[in-house]
Amino acid sequence: MGEWYQAAHHYSWQLTNDSATGAALANSPRNLAKLNLSTPFFNAAWQAGVEAQYVGSRATLQSQTGGLLAGQFDAVLGASG
């Protein structure tokens, strides 16, 4: 266990406006982020990983919606060789 670890992260920032009115575009969050971590476990036959994703708040056609943070856990059995 703990022979190797992998990590990755991604972040983007955007500012999108209607070219005619200058208003922010609907359903267009300014912030997007993702984080992944993985490592082998249980005698290296399995790989476990966690991931988190964030989507920032954004305007809708009628109001404003809050941000969202979602996560998941995966366990994968590798091919025996």
Q: Where are the domains of the chain?
A: 6-77
Q: What is the pLDDT of residue 81?
A: 47
Q: What is the pTM of this model?
A: 0.76
pLDDT in tens, 22-77: 888 999 999 999 999 999 887 778 889 999 999 999 988 899 999 999 999 998 88
Find out whether 74 and 42 touch, Cβ atoms under 8 Å: no
Q: What mean pLDDT comes out for the span 6-10?
A: 94
Q: What is the pLDDT of residue 79?
A: 57
- SS3 of 1-69: the string is CCCCCEEEEEEEECCCECCCCCCECCCCCCEEEEEEEEEEECCCCEEEEEEEEEECCEECCCCEECCEE
Q: What is the number of helices (H) and of strands (E) in the chain?
A: 0, 6
